[in-house]
């Protein structure tokens, strides 16, 4: 939650909180809550899928399956970081969104250049095309949201 | 699985999504109408789940049983989870949460159909 002394003025006109009303580092409210939901959904989707694939046939496509598991862990951590808010949560979320963006760009490029290493899809292969490119858009939205909610020293 | 019910779920869900996103665009929080809409979609979805379970019990098998059952269990949890999250967010963003879930559900339904026929 918000740090003492960092809280900004509360709700303004029409009963809905204005932009200025959101307290610094409250990463879990407003658009942040949408992000928490989408991150949780992706953690579940990527996690369930990779757990099943690793359990049944890891040898078939070890790289993609392990990358999916990594992606799932990052999504879960990002969801928790955003949901917990505060300084630690904010930094955890920043690290996760950065790893995610680098991951989706690196794995995306790798999967295009060396498709033979990707006999099966991961969340990040083809820049997330199997998931409607949401894995590419999500970290960008996350980083924009983190910049919006950043404490003064980080802005 | 019933193709008719799949189409019904997808259509109802898309209407709900449109309603929610329109509400968000008008800068309103979701209200009873949205909850009622979500309940209707959920009811049609549960009918589909019952049909699927009956047909599975009758010996019919989708392409990948484990994946199919995974989607079958996850799909009915989506809208209630989104509604619960939206209830914590009484702003336009609550409507966005419900709208996004209502856009994801048709994708899950298509995937279920694909698995059933695969």
Band the pLDDT of A8: cuts 50, 70, 90: very low
CA A88/CA B60 separation, integer angstroms: 50
A41/B85 touch (CB, cutoff 8 Å), yes or no: no
Asked whether residue A113 carries a pLDDT value surpassing 50, the answer given is yes
pLDDT at B118: 81
How far does A88 lie from chain B, in Å, by closest CA?
A: 22
A2 token code pair? 């918000």
What pTM was computed for the model?
0.88
Please tell me the least confidently modeled range out of A3-12, A77-86, A103-112, B27-36: A3-12
Confidence check on the interface: ipTM exceeds 0.90, yes or no: yes
pLDDT at A25: 75
Asked whether residue A10 carries a pLDDT value surpassing 70, the answer given is no
Asked whether residue A84 carries a pLDDT value surpassing 50, the answer given is yes
- Taking CB atoms and an 8 Å cutoff, what residues of chain A touch B74? 44, 48
Give tens-digit pLDDT for A32-45: 999 999 999 999 99
Is B63 buried (19+), middle (13-18) or exposed (0-12) by CB count in 10 A?
exposed
Asked whether residue A61 carries a pLDDT value surpassing 90, the answer given is no
Is B104 buried (19+), middle (13-18) or exposed (0-12) by CB count in 10 A?
buried
- Taking CB atoms and an 8 Å cutoff, what residues of chain A touch B97? 33-34, 37
pLDDT at A75: 97
pLDDT at A152: 56
- CA-based nearest residue in chain B for residue A49: B67
Q: Which residues in chain B come in under a pLDDT of 50?
A: none
Asked whether residue A119 carries a pLDDT value surpassing 90, the answer given is no
Task: Identify the sign of the CA torsion B62, B63, B64, B67.
Answer: negative
CA A33/CA A83 separation, integer angstroms: 7
- CA-based nearest residue in chain B for residue A131: B107
Band the pLDDT of A153: cuts 50, 70, 90: low
Q: What is the mean pLDDT of chain A?
A: 85
């Amino acid at each position: 939650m918000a740090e003492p002394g960092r809280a900004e003025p509360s709700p303004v006109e029409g009963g809905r909180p204005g932009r200025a009303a959101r307290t610094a580092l409250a990463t879990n409210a407003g658009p942040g809550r949408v992000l928490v939901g989408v991150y949780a959904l992706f953690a579940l989707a990527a996690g369930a899928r990779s757990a099943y694939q690793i359990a049944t046939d890891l040898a078939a496509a070890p790289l993609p399956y392990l990358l999916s598991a990594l992606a799932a862990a990052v999504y879960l951590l990002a969801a928790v970081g955003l949901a917990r808010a505060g300084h630690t949560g904010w930094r955890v979320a920043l690290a996760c969104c950065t790893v995610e963006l680098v991951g989706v760009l690196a794995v995306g490029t790798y999967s295009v250049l060396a498709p033979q290493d990707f006999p099966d899809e991961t969340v990040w292969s083809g820049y997330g095309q199997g998931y409607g490119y949401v894995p590419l858009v999500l970290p960008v939205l996350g980083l924009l949201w983190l910049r919006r909610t950043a404490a003064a020293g980080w802005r | 699985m019933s193709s008719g019910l799949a189409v019904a779920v997808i259509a109802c869900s898309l209407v709900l999504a449109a309603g929610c996103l329109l509400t968000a665009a008008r800068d309103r929080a979701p209200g009873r109408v949205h909850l009622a809409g979500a309940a209707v979609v959920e009811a049609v979805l549960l009918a589909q789940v019952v049909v699927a379970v009956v047909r599975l019990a009758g010996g019919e098998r989708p392409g990948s049983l484990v994946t199919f059952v995974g989607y079958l269990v996850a799909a009915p949890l989506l809208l209630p989870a989104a509604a619960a999250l939206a209830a914590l967010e009484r702003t336009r963003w609550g409507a966005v949460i419900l709208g996004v879930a209502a856009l994801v559900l048709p994708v899950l339904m298509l995937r279920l159909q694909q698995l059933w026929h695969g």
